[in-house]
Structure 1
Amino acid sequence: MSSTSGNAARSEQIWLDGKLIKWDEGQVHVMTHALHYGLGVFEGIRAYRTHDGRLAVFRLREHIERLFDSAHICMMKLPYTVEQLMEACLELLRKQKDQFANGAYLRPIAFMGDGAMGLGAINPTRVAVTAWDWGAYLGDKGIREGIRAKVSSFTRMHVNVNMVRGKISGQYVNSILAKREAVLAGYDEAILLDISGFVAEASGENIFLVNKKGIIKTPPLSSPILDGITRDTVLKILRDSGRSVDEVTVTRDALYIANEVFFTGTAAEITPVREVDNRTVGAGKPGPITQYVQETYFRTVRGQEPRYIEWLTYV
């Protein structure tokens, strides 16, 4: 899996609390409240090289608006406007866009800073934006051929435990444990069920399936899932093509006997699933609907689909 370590390209600067500073100066104190208790919110946003060589951020406004929603859920007041944080993302890329030949992954994050400690503390909110070159999250081969997934022994947290509309830092421990369990068992990704045993989502992706009748299904937003922006993009692409999508609860064995299964997410993009719990999905390779979604998605983010051009913010 790709990471920011090694020789991966990263921005020479980061945006921290309203100004650009050198990457190595982007530090916080060890007594930062969020480090101890996990009170922070974040986004993952991709910028792509478009077909004409420009750099464009995909669905920037929607991501930043969700960041504000996440902060509101956590009762964190952000000291900036949506427009200011959108501009922060763009400013960071403008300063070094030539180094991101393959595009960039942006990480806006807001977190409770240092000051008082304890669960009742209320410290100033700090905000940062970083960028790096992050390839296919589940691997280029996974994008092409599909990945192996395992239903996790960890459960996606109940809606009274997990604020499911927020991308909240501390909540991702649940996903980390599920992901590690799957990888240590020899799989690529974990699938988490809800407390009733229905499919929720993967450790960091939403999930779609196509059954033997050709019906496309995805868990509904009444399930404990993130309201994924890539999920929304795929719903739009599929419905605009004349296909219907049922947003309904599904069981794990529905994945076993599906013709196609695929994950969606900003990091994972559109990743086919060729196997779940040692059961081959369909023909064991990306199916026609998955391929259609992949092709349309990548054309869209590269500026080759005029009907979706409003989703791109050019740097």
Structure 2
Amino acid sequence: MTVTQDGVPARDTKAPQATPAAGSPAVSPLAYHDGEFVPLERALLPVTTQALQYGTGVFEGIRAYAQRGGGLAVFRAEDHYRRLLRSCRTLRIDPGHTVEELCALTAELLRRIGTQEDTYIRPLAYKRALLPGQKPGVGLTGVSDALSVNAFRMGSYTDPAGIRCTISSWRRPSSDALPVRAKVTGGYVNNALAVDEARAAGCEDAILLNSRGQVAEASTSNVFAVLRGRLVTPPVTADLLEGITRDTAVTLAADLLDTPTDFRDLGRDELMGADEVFLTGTGTEIVPVTEIAGRPVGEGVPGPLSTALRGAYQDVVRGGEPRYAHWLHPLNA
């Protein structure tokens, strides 16, 4: 594949350019679609798309943050795209790009959009159409693959004063029924049902238990609890997605707060009796949980560890901690 110096396919060099604007719309006017940068209104798919019919797609959620020294940087882009490629292998999807190329085209998309504000990036790799001669029906072979990337302006949207969660009646699927360590689009109906139930109960999010009755994760976040001064989070064997922000929180807690993390099964009763609970995710970032199933967590306010970790995270993603500069992918890199 012929690429430019930025690692972007050469045929994309004449794609439309966005004009930087302070009042740019929440949804960016450009997308990467079908191998080129196009106006968002041209990034369309037919109703016959296999991923739309059968949920055979994988995706990532990535954030780019405005830096304290100026400019925009994508946070842990390489780690997100490594996970995307692992998810692709699970569904036999060939996105046609390496991790390095995906990072480069994402940076190029943001440069063309021209934004300097916090931005959310959504790459989606998916099964598109049956190849000639293939019989109709669901499958992973004999189907073409495609990649699309779009972006939209999004700052922090969770309440630093904490959120309320339910314990969902929906269970997290087990890994022998669904590849839970891959971000498969079809699997998120489970998450959507849990969130719908939580909102109907007046809460912001749901915590799902696995088939063994242990804590798995929240709808789109990992779960942490502080129990008698120990930081605890469920292990990957609890049928959860290994979050990039989960790893960030574990690292920052150890490095900056001298707090190691215990990876072990976490029961519902333990969670309800925790001194602190918080969630971690790319979208939610780090957010305290102050109420679970109508009962206060601890004193019903964000605890000291949750508060300190949330502050440290914001410092790191905005370039305030030089030792974590390797997690940041500046647009001018």
Category of TM-score, reference length = shorter chain = over 0.9
| Coordinate RMSD, CA, aligned | 1.3
Distance in 2 (alpha carbons) for counterparts of 1:123 and 1:73: 14
Q: Distance in 1 between matches of 2:114 and 2:273?
A: 45
1:127 to 147, 150, 170: 147
Deviations 1:260-290 (A, max 9, x none): 1000000000011000011100111111100
Larger radius of gyration: 2
For 2:179 and 2:240, how far apart are their aligned partners in 1?
9
Structure 1, residues 243-264: CA drift from partner, whole Å, max 9, x if none?
1110001111212111110000
Gaps of 5+ in 1: 1-6
Q: 1:137-196: per-residue Cα shift (whole Å, max 9, x none)? A: 4x3xx2x11000000000000110121220000000000001101101111101000011
Matching residue of 2:224: 208
2:248 pairs with 1:233: yes
Residues 217 and 54 (structure 1 numbering): CA distance in 2 closer, same or farther, change over 3 Å? same
What is the Cα deviation at residue 38 of structure 1?
A: 0.2
Task: Name the % identity.
Answer: 41
Q: Which runs of 4+ in 1 moved over 3 A?
A: none
Which whole-Å CA distance do the structure 2 matches of 1:63 and 1:285 have between them?
Answer: 32
Contact 1:112 1:122 in 2 (8 A): no
Aligned counterparts of 2:259 and 2:198: Cα–Cα separation in 1: 33
Equivalent position amino acid for 1:51 in 2: R
Alignment of 1:36-75 (within 5 A): 36-75=53-92
Q: CA deviation at 1:234?
A: 0.5
1:181 maps to: 197
Cα deviation, residue 134, structure 1? 2.1
Who is 2:328 aligned against? 312
Matched pairs, number: 302
The code of the aligned residue for 1:264 comes to: T
How far apart, CA to CA, are the structure 2 residues paired with 1:67 and 1:245?
26
Secondary structure of the equivalent of 2:148?
Answer: strand
TM-score (norm. length: structure 1):
0.93
Aligned residue for 2:98?
81
Cα distance in 2 for residues equivalent to 1:267 and 1:232: 15
My pick for the range that moved more, 213-222 or 76-85, is: 76-85
TM-score (ref. length: structure 2): 0.88
Residue 128 (structure 2) pairs with residue 113 (structure 1): yes
Paired position in structure 1 for 2:43: 26
Question: CA-to-partner distance for each residue in 1:185-234, whole Å, 9 max, x for gaps?
Answer: 111101000011000000100000001x2111000011100010000000
Secondary structure of the structure 1 residue equivalent to 2:168 = strand
Instruction: Please state whether the residue corresponding to 2:220 is helix, strand or coil.
Output: coil
Match of 1:229, as an amino acid?
I
C-alpha distance in 1 between matches for 2:259 and 2:322: 20
- Please tell me the residue identity of whatever aligns with 1:202: A
Check the 8 A contact 1:39/1:170 in 2, yes or no. yes
Q: Distance in 1 between matches of 2:242 and 2:142?
A: 28
1:156 maps to a residue whose letter is R
Q: Which has the higher contact order (CA 8 A, sep 6+)?
A: 1
CA distance in 2 between counterparts of 1:220 and 1:156 reads 14
Instruction: Spell out, residue by residue over 1:50-105, the C-alpha distance to the aligned partner (whole angstroms, 9 max, x if none).
Output: 1012100000000011000001011222222222211111110011233x42x100
Is the CA contact 1:8–1:134 (under 8 Å) kept in the aligned structure 2?
no
Q: Which runs of 5 or more residues in structure 2 are unaligned?
A: 1-23
